[in-house]
Amino acid sequence: MTLPSTYKQMISTVSAEGELTMELVDKPMPELGEDEVLIRVEATPINPSDQGVMFGWASMAKATSSGSGKETKLTAPVSPQGMGVMKARIGQALTVGNEGAGTVVAAGSGDYAQSLIGKVVAVMGGGMYAEYRKASAMMCLVLQDGHTARDGTSCFVNPLTALSMIETMRMEGHSALVHTAAASNLGQMLNRICQADGVELVNVVRKPEQAELLRGMGAKHIVDSSSESFMADLTDAIHATGATLAFDATGGGNLASNILTAMEGAAARTPGAYSIYGSVHHKQVYLYGGLDTSPTVLSRGYGMAWGVGGWLLPNFLAKAGVEVAMRLRARVAEELKTTFASHYTDELSLEEALQANVVARYYAKATGEKFLICPQK
């Protein structure tokens, strides 16, 4: 197979003058080490975590695009406050795209690297919004026969996050979970895992139609934050499940505090679980997303046995160790078209992903919507 001498790569740069620029640049085809492979990227998803690198604190409501084809460019202003947050990346051309999948088209001289030529693999490690990506052969997840790049492109971030939530629950001594933005692709995966593993799950959604979606999937405990009875419903669901651990994808506002309040209210119904300092069992909410960018508000009224903190997949996997990470990856590979199947709202070329009207669609981060970049399109 004859390979081109260059390939297109999406980069994101913030200038000292306060402007975000996203564009496609030509990169020389990389040289491969002994144990490295070259992947022709065929599918790569746009995750909320990707958008943090793509756009940072830019004012995306004011974004504009110019040019066409490989000359397409997206620009957006960055406020003084945003520049303060992003000062460490000023002038740096950052590659974007956490995960993706494609076909191995070249390899170094190592035996294992050579064995991957022609295989469809998935990989995580950044820089996936490109036509080609160099990667360590050992970091590639070889997809099973019959699985396409589209099937495997989202097999890291969402599946491993959902599985790691369950692992966190077990490691920290909890027995049930609360999850927000529960009708998302990740939330649907978490429901399937919990049903298969016998874990009680409280699903927090924002719309009645999202509740219906999850109910159709067999979810038992669903509460709608837009309902007038939300707090009572949430407390009832937490009491029924015994959930004392929550993962909040919204991050801002008072949702984390409301969950802790409901956990405390549920605990108060259990004889012996209460003291003058509140319930004795530790209640924990992890913020793992930022769908709501407003400040996190805590209205303390849930005793002294509680915690709110950040949670990030790479940090968890580093703490859990290689054995746990490999076990989780093996399960994802086995259940790729069932438990961990992803569904996409639209498929975009690299150029289309830089058009302002298209960016507005995926930047909205609407629950249940997920966009896919196909660099060969």
Q: What tens digit of pLDDT does each residue of 324-355 get?
A: 999 999 999 999 999 999 999 999 999 999 99
pLDDT averaged over the chain?
95
pLDDT band (50, 70, 90) for residue 293: confident
Supply the pTM of this predicted model. Answer: 0.87
Calculate mean pLDDT across residues 19-30. 97
Calculate mean pLDDT across residues 366-374. 92
Q: Measured in Å, how far apart are the chain's first and last C-alpha atoms?
A: 19
Q: Say if residues 363 and 60 touch (Cβ distance below 8 Å).
A: yes
Q: What is the pLDDT of residue 134?
A: 98
- Residue spans per domain, the chain: 6-154+342-373, 157-317
Q: List the one residue out of 263, 264, 259 whose CA is nearest residue 297.
A: 259
Please tell me which residue, 277 or 260, carries the higher pLDDT value. Answer: 260
Q: Percent of the chain having pLDDT more than 70?
A: 99
Q: List the one residue out of 179, 187, 122 whose CA is nearest residue 158.
A: 187
| Same fold for the pair 6-154+342-373 and 157-317 | no
Q: What is the pLDDT of residue 366?
A: 86
Distance CA 30, CA 23 (A): 20
Distance CA 290, CA 163 (A): 20
Calculate mean pLDDT across residues 282-286. 97
Q: What tens digit of pLDDT does each residue of 87-112 get?
A: 999 999 999 999 999 999 999 999 99
Q: Percent of the chain having pLDDT more than 90?
A: 91
Measured CA distances, 156 to 99, 124, 164, 367 (Å): 7, 7, 11, 19
- Architecture of domain 6-154+342-373 in CATH? Alpha-Beta Complex (3.90)
> CB count, 10 Å around CB of 189?
22
Q: Say if residues 139 and 125 touch (Cβ distance below 8 Å).
A: yes
> CB count, 10 Å around CB of 251?
19
User: Is pLDDT above 70 for 273?
Assistant: no
User: Is pLDDT above 70 for 198?
Assistant: yes
- Architecture of domain 157-317 in CATH? 3-Layer(aba) Sandwich (3.40)
Three-class SS of residue 321?
coil
Strands 19-28 and 94-95: unpaired
Calculate mean pLDDT across residues 229-255. 97
pLDDT band (50, 70, 90) for residue 367: confident
Q: What is the pLDDT of residue 274?
A: 62
